[in-house]
Amino acid sequence: MELLLQQTVNALSLGGVYAMLALGLAIVFSIVRLINFAHGEIMTFGGYGIFLSLVFGFPPVAALIIGLAAAVVMALAMERTAFRAMRGADVVSLLITSFAVSEILKVLFQNGISARPVPITFPASWSGTYQVGDITFGVVPTVSILVTLAALAGLTFLLRRTVSGMAMRAAAEDIEMLRLLGIRANRVVAVAFALSGLLAGIAAVIWTAQRGSVDPMMGFFPVLKAFIATVLGGLGSLGGAVLGGFAIGIVEVLAQAFLPETLAPYRDAIVLAAVIAALLWRPDGLLPAAKTSRS
């Protein structure tokens, strides 16, 4: 029972990170049809933002905020320098561009900072535990879950209730029509990238708080899982991305916790097999994006 509850917290915390990354990918994809392979480097850049702020002596809370800001700036910079010129290009050209951006950034991280992990040390009090009854929970995973839920709630509010959110939903359907209304599409696309950067930044904060280091590949692996999550959920569907992210996090943690030791090397294979099974059952994903038809 205790193990199950603790693993549930771990699963939701990991799933939350995947969900936020998948959501960032889905927001951008839904509007500009870009599968942003460099999304992981946005997260990594956020991690280095935290690392460098601490090195320069900023207090930990300030460092986290700088990390978030770094991720947002990186997302906006990518949009401006690499992707805006490619607007309207086919999905494959966009994907290849994002591969290039991803590789360039990884090389810059390796040569500019370090190819090896650099440590991020937060105050010891942050890594504590607390008791509920006689069950012990980690503070960081619990806070991660709360932060994830707050981020998802905030994003839902933004998309449902604000004009910017309406513009983003409209852009996902028919961006030319949005322009014809006199709304600047570039601004809407920039907001979408900024949001995806912010979500990647939050993921970076949670990831570094849990692992205590940053390396050039930090964002790569979780974003790979997030890609799978977007496909599992239904490419371009925001709700699907969140659902897919949590599903993969949960399956991964369950596989780690409850599979016999001898099967441990096959953990990712088992997760992927589960994804493939789900896609055989629902080929368009768990919550497919609404098909927008244009007559």
> Would you count residue 179 as binding another protein (CB under 8 A)?
yes
Nearer to another protein among residue 138 and residue 288 (C-beta): 288
How far is it, in rounded angstroms, from Cα 57 to Cα 105?
A: 25
Q: Are 193 and 78 in contact (CB under 8 A)?
A: yes
* 85 contributes a contact to another protein by CB under 8 A: no
One of 184, 263, 273, 276 touching another protein (CB under 8 A):
184
Q: Which of 120, 140, 167, 278 binds another protein (CB under 8 A)?
A: 167
Measured CA to CA, the distance from residue 33 to residue 235 in angstroms comes to: 10
> Which one of the spans 99-107, 117-125, 167-175, 201-209 is the region binding another protein (CB under 8 A)?
167-175
Residue 174 sits in the site that holds another protein (CB under 8 A): yes
Q: Is 130 exposed, middle or buried (0-12, 13-18, 19+ CB in 10 A)?
A: exposed
Shortest distance (Å) from residue 90 CB to another protein = 16
**In one letter, which amino acid is 75?**
A
Using an 8 Å Cβ cutoff, are 140 and 7 in contact? no
Q: Hey, how many other C-beta atoms are within 10 angstroms of the C-beta on 95?
A: 15
The reply on whether position 284 binds another protein by CB under 8 A is no
Is residue 295 at the binding interface for another protein, with CB under 8 A as the rule? Answer: yes
Q: Is 268 buried (19+), middle (13-18) or exposed (0-12) by CB count in 10 A?
A: middle
- In angstroms, what is the minimal distance from the CB of 31 to another protein? 13
In 33-138, which ranges are continuous DSSP H helix?
39-55, 60-78, 91-112
Structure tokens belonging to residue 116: 């090896």
Of residues 29-68, those binding another protein (CB under 8 A): none
Q: Report the residue number, 69 or 170, with the smaller CB distance to another protein.
A: 170
Span from 3-11, 56-64, 78-86, 180-188 in contact with another protein (CB under 8 A): 180-188
Instruction: For residue 180, state whether it binds another protein (rule: CB under 8 A).
Output: yes
Which of 163, 261, 281, 283 forms a contact with another protein (CB under 8 A)? 163
Nearer to another protein, 178 or 275 (CB): 178
Closest CA to 26 of 16, 36, 12, 40: 36
**Which positions lie near another protein, rule CB under 8 A?**
163, 166-167, 169-170, 173-174, 176-184, 290, 292-295
